Amino acid sequence: MDASPTALRDRPPRGASPRWLPRSFYARAALILIVPVVTIQLAVAVMFLQRHYEDVTVQMTSNMAREIALAREHPDLADALDIDLGAPPAASRIRFWDLSARAMREQLREDFPDLVAVDTVSVRKRVALGFEDGTGMRFDRHNVSAANPHQLLVLMVATAILMTAVSFLFMRGQIRPIRRLARAAEAFGRGQHADYRPTGATEVRAAGTAFLDMRARIERHIEQRTLLLSGVSHDLRTPLTRMKLELSMMDVPQSAELAGDVEAMERIIDTFLEFARESATDERARVALKPLLRDAAEMAMPNRPVELTGPELDADIYPEGMRRAVANLVKNAGRYGDRVRVSLQSGAGAIVVAVEDDGPGIPENAYEAAMRPFSRLDDARSNTAGNVGLGLSIVRDVARAHGGALRLGRSDLGGLKAEIVVPR
């Protein structure tokens, strides 16, 4: 049983990537680019900050420790050393993100075991020390730690942002041809001929050229099939017309049976022409679906009632193709069942036209075979009715021309349920 395009798109393939990874190629390429850049930036920043805040601060603090020791031994030299003597701080105060202050405190404690308090918060850009003997002193912060590397960090971040933006623009230009190829392939799958010219990198151009070759081969195949079926069917009409004329002038008991066989052959030819014609002359238009379904049901079974349910909807479709597809389904349902129901449903991303009957239905394992061209499930049945097994195949081709699918299932009426699913 065919799945709808939405189900096929949402179904995770084997070996799919983890759910936390982005799904688009553009996002994945950006992730591949950004992660190494950010990692390198962080590694450089950590190494630089460790060197700057720890090694340089420890060296400068060691130099300052000698001046502090000199000022403690000779207080009269404190002014010359730019050290202010006074009351000690009440307690140690260091901000938790101040790495250089932490390194400075550890080095000062190593040099002065009697150090009891280090305060870098009370007075901005000043360090206050307190010792066990009750003395205290203050000096400029820049004497024990290098200037904060804000300029270098800002430069690193600004450079990273600039290069990432340039890379994004470059990637966007590289991904644009892939998106154009995807749109052209999607349009061709819906029966439309989108203008496409291969561009981009060598690999993308190769894929685009292969797509154009494939599209040309498929179009030639469809054209040849159409010409073949149309030609054969047209050539058979002349002898059939002559046979009908001769049978009408015959007055023998067998003439009625022969006339029935000729009519069956005409129906087979009409079916061939319908299959060959598909939607070649049909153009998309926005139409009201419910009146179209009613016309299709009346065309297929003019003398029998058909239930029609569903809301009033407008859709952008191939009107003649949809009318022919629904008529085929209604005709099949009326052939094998007494009750026929046509329903219209609308979802978030698709429109579903369902035709159901109360007949014997089709075994589930024969759904795919029933939709193949020239496939008849009852091989022993004679073909006097003109059945060549093209009805469901025509319906599936019409559904695919809309970018949708034909689904078969079991109806609650007891027979077959055929659904034409087309995207909105």
Mean pLDDT of 14-29: 65
The upper half-sphere exposure of residue 354, i.e. CA atoms within 13 Å in the direction of its Cβ, equals: 20
In tens, the pLDDT along 180-238 reads 898 888 878 766 778 888 888 888 889 889 989 998 898 888 777 777 766 776 677 77
Could you give the CA distance from residue 92 to residue 253 in angstroms, rounded to a whole number? 122
Q: pLDDT confidence of 137, banded at 50, 70, 90?
A: very high
Instruction: State residue 2's pLDDT score.
Output: 43
In tens, the pLDDT along 336-380 reads 888 899 999 887 788 899 999 988 888 888 888 787 766 666 543
Backbone φ and ψ of 350, nearest 5°: -150, 160
Instruction: State residue 10's pLDDT score.
Output: 47
Length of the chain: 424
- What residue ranges define each of the domains in the chain, with the CATH number in brackets? 44-148 (3.30.450), 281-423 (3.30.565.10)
DSSP, res 93: B
Q: pLDDT confidence of 386, banded at 50, 70, 90?
A: very low
Instruction: State residue 164's pLDDT score.
Output: 79
Least confident piece of the model among 44-48, 164-168, 201-205:
44-48
CA distances from 212 to 17, 122, 174, 364 (A): 30, 75, 20, 37
Residue 11 buriedness (CB in 10 A; 0-12 / 13-18 / 19+): exposed
Could you give the CA distance from residue 167 to residue 172 in angstroms, rounded to a whole number? 8
Q: pLDDT confidence of 128, banded at 50, 70, 90?
A: very high
Percent of the chain that is helix, strand, coil (3-state, to 5): 55, 15, 30
One-letter amino acid at 207 equals: A
Instruction: State residue 213's pLDDT score.
Output: 92
What is the sign, positive or negative, of the torsion defined by CA atoms of 273, 276, 282, 287? positive
- Residue spans of alpha helices (H) in 301-390: 319-336, 367-370
Could you give the CA distance from residue 128 to residue 264 in angstroms, rounded to a whole number? 109
Judge whether residue 176 has pLDDT over 70.
yes
